[in-house]
Amino acid sequence: MTGTPETAPRRLLLEANIGRPDIAATVSQVVDACRSRGIAVRMLEDTFASVPTGTGVESVPDTAEAAVGCELVLVLGGDGTFLRACQYATAADVPVLGVNLGHIGFLAESEVSSLSPVVEQIAARDYRVVERMTVEATVLHDDRVVGRDWALNEASIEKTARQGVLEASVEIDGRPVSDYGCDGILVSTPTGSTAYAFSAGGPIVWPELDAILVVPNNAHALFARPMVVAPSSRVAVETATHSGDAVVVLDGRREIAAPAGSRVEVVSGRRPVKWVRLDDSPFTDRLVTKFELPVTGWRGRPASRRLP
């Protein structure tokens, strides 16, 4: 593990889903456990105001610098809370660790039932940090940059009005691929392949693989298959001028307006998300557990016959 030197004061940013009815007790449990182990807790002002924590908790404004000086960002909630927390973690160049309080919680590293051992591992620095690829989207209109932002899961180019379809052309590495009439075009990372892109018919991509997924969403076209392209590729989506205004939605949370006739360019992000791993279990196990896949008929290869 890399991160805060052992001689420096230890501090974490605690980001919680304050909408959950049982969140106050869970936050108090984390605060008490951290305090007893010499780890200071910082919270955003809205969370601090909503959840009673007693004394000794630092409250900070909701800005990009919220996690600066912290060892990591600890998330209590579902995938939406995790994605929000990634903004603070990435801005401060620190890792993020999710504890699932939601339904599936695909991005979480642990469940709330294991909360005490999680704090123990943080205190003992018994974790490692891996990097997850991001994507960066730039919206251009009349050769002018309208906006730019990044996403851990996906950039979704969608029609602003719900009526009609989005008329768009997809280009990869400077060459046209196809025109689509569709609900939208998703440009996803491997991490996002189990999220919106999966619901739209995209493939599941193991997070150890750097790649960019291009997934037409409900396309009225003969060629509407998802594509997996190189992480060095530049994916561009050009919206038709007669198709109306569009919007680029980043991780389902942030938006960039894309006026009719805009060009949206998506590339691999310049900064990955640092992700805390608490064990060495493979992605396959997470996939089976979170999606409750049927594996009762699996026998496996006996140890004596396993390949080297």
Note the pLDDT tens digit of each residue in 76-106: 999 999 999 999 999 999 999 999 987 788 9
pLDDT given at position 52? 76
Cα distance between the two ends of the chain = 29
pLDDT per residue as tens digits for the range 154-196: 999 999 988 889 999 999 999 999 999 999 999 999 999 999 9
The CATH superfamily assigned to 135-268 is: Probable inorganic polyphosphate/atp-NAD kinase; domain 2 (2.60.200.30)
Best CA proximity match to 151, nearest among 101, 205, 202, 196:
196
pLDDT given at position 216? 96
pLDDT given at position 103? 78
**Helix (H) and strand (E) counts for the chain?**
6, 20
Helix (H, G, I), strand (E, B) or coil at 101: coil
Instruction: Please check the confidence at residue 237 and state whether its pLDDT lies above 60.
Output: yes
Q: What b/e sequence results for 123-149 when a residue is b if at least 16 CB atoms lie within 10 Å of its CB, and e otherwise?
A: eeeebebeebbbbbbbbbbeeeebbeb
Q: List beta partners, residue 41.
A: 12, 57
Q: Is the dihedral of CA 168, 135, 64, 27 positive or negative?
A: positive
Which residues are known to be catalytic? Answer: 79
pLDDT per residue as tens digits for the range 250-286: 999 999 999 999 999 999 999 999 999 999 999 999 9
Q: List beta partners, residue 219.
A: none
Instruction: Kindly indicate the confidence band of residue 305, based on its pLDDT and cuts at 50, 70 and 90.
Output: low
Instruction: Please check the confidence at residue 303 and state whether its pLDDT lies above 70.
Output: no
Using DSSP bridges, classify how beta strands 72-77 and 135-141 pair: parallel, antiparallel or unpaired.
unpaired
Can you tell me the distance from the alpha carbon of 107 to that of 86, in angstroms, rounded to the nearest whole number? 11
CATH classification (class only), 10-126+278-291? alpha beta
Best CA proximity match to 270, nearest among 150, 107, 139:
150
For range 51-70, the mean pLDDT: 89
Domain ranges for the chain: 10-126+278-291, 135-268
pLDDT given at position 2? 44
Task: Give the Å distances, CA to CA, from 128 to 7, 189, 279, 280.
Answer: 19, 21, 8, 9
pLDDT per residue as tens digits for the range 117-137: 999 999 999 999 999 999 999
Rg (CA), the chain: 21
pLDDT given at position 3? 46
**One-letter amino acid of 187:** V
Instruction: Please check the confidence at residue 222 and state whether its pLDDT lies above 80.
Output: yes
pLDDT given at position 4? 47
Q: Which residue in the block uniquely carries the two structure tokens 């196809």?
A: 178
247 in Cβ contact with 158 (< 8 Å): yes
